[in-house]
Amino acid sequence: MLKIENLTKQYKNKIALDDLTVEFPKGVTGLLGPNGAGKSTLMRILSTVDTPSKGSVTFNGTDITKHPNDLRRVLGYLPQDFGVYPNMSASEFLEYMAAMKGLSMKSAKVRINELLDILNLTSAGKRHLGGFSGGMKQRVGIAQALLNDLKILIVDEPTVGLDPDERIRFRNLLASLAADRTIILSTHIVSDIESIAPNLMVMKEGRLIAAASPEKLMTQAHGKVWNTIVDVNELEALQQKYIVSNSMQRSDGIHVRIVSTEQPRLGADLVEPSLEDAYLYVTKGK
């Protein structure tokens, strides 16, 4: 079990994390929040890259700040800004990372071939990473995070740069790993979390403002999501006054989805909230 208690991270003029206490169960926990919420800071502390100013992080009862190797042996981590060695091939880089994790070369090569196949990189395994696209580099980053026999997987914005098919493939991969592992997935893409994460954490300005299942989070926005049809010259005024979660041009006008505790205009109809509506409500509307 991975658990944080009264976790605080303070820099000179900013509190990045403010007294967080939460447990991460097995399965996928989705971490949502706007820019500056403290998600990446939390990821770095959980992965033993950084240390807290106050509070504790424990893994199976062991303080990972004092004994980081207990977690590192079973940890897979993909940071938001993942760097590669441009003159190495994908296979060479993964072999290097496997050696850093203490894996035997024999077992590492088998695992590398499996991951290259899963992530659609087999044909590019011998190519230098310097010639890879951003999406391909991201897939190599995902592969290195999955090299060892991990129990904890921490991934920060893992689907950035992936095309829709690659995003679906990666989500399916996470779902297949989740049965007996703790996976923490931080992302801005609500659909990535909605399809695979039974547990959600929502952060804002370094604080935990919601921890619930997607279904429970959506109940908070029940009765607060509206649909209306407007002319194009009305849209800007609505966006300035209300939280607009979606707008779509149709033959009869612009269909606008609004998160509001009151009816935004005459003729607006209440609709069932989506997870994105609920996320906007708890971060901007409450």
**Region 201-229: what's the mean pLDDT?**
95
**Region 21-37: what's the mean pLDDT?**
92
- First-to-last CA distance in the chain? 32
- pLDDT higher for 17 or 196? 17
- pLDDT higher for 127 or 159? 127
| Domain spans in the chain, listed from the N-terminal domain onward | 2-218, 223-285
Question: In this predicted structure, what is the pLDDT of residue 243?
Answer: 95
Percent of the chain with pLDDT over 90: 58
| Banded pLDDT at 168 (limits 50, 70, 90) | confident
- In the chain the beta strands, taken as DSSP E runs, fall at 2-10, 15-24, 27-32, 54-59, 62-63, 75-78, 152-156, 182-186, 199-204, 207-212, 225-230, 243-250, 253-259, 269-270
**Region 112-120: what's the mean pLDDT?**
90
| Banded pLDDT at 188 (limits 50, 70, 90) | confident
Does the pLDDT of residue 286 top 80, yes or no? Answer: no
User: Would you say domain 2-218 falls under CATH 3.30.420.40?
Assistant: no
| Banded pLDDT at 12 (limits 50, 70, 90) | confident
Q: Which of 56-60, 99-103, 235-239, 242-246 is least confident?
A: 99-103
Question: In this predicted structure, what is the pLDDT of residue 185?
Answer: 92
94's tokens: 């993964």
> Which residues, 6+ apart, have CB-to-CB distance to 218 below 8 Å?
273, 274, 275, 277, 278
Does the pLDDT of residue 8 top 70, yes or no? Answer: yes
- Rounded-to-integer distance, Cα 136 and Cα 254, Å: 37
- Rounded-to-integer distance, Cα 62 and Cα 276, Å: 36
Beta carbons of 218 and 277 less than 8 angstroms apart: yes
The rounded mean pLDDT for the chain is 90
Does the pLDDT of residue 24 top 80, yes or no? Answer: yes
Does the pLDDT of residue 277 top 70, yes or no? Answer: yes
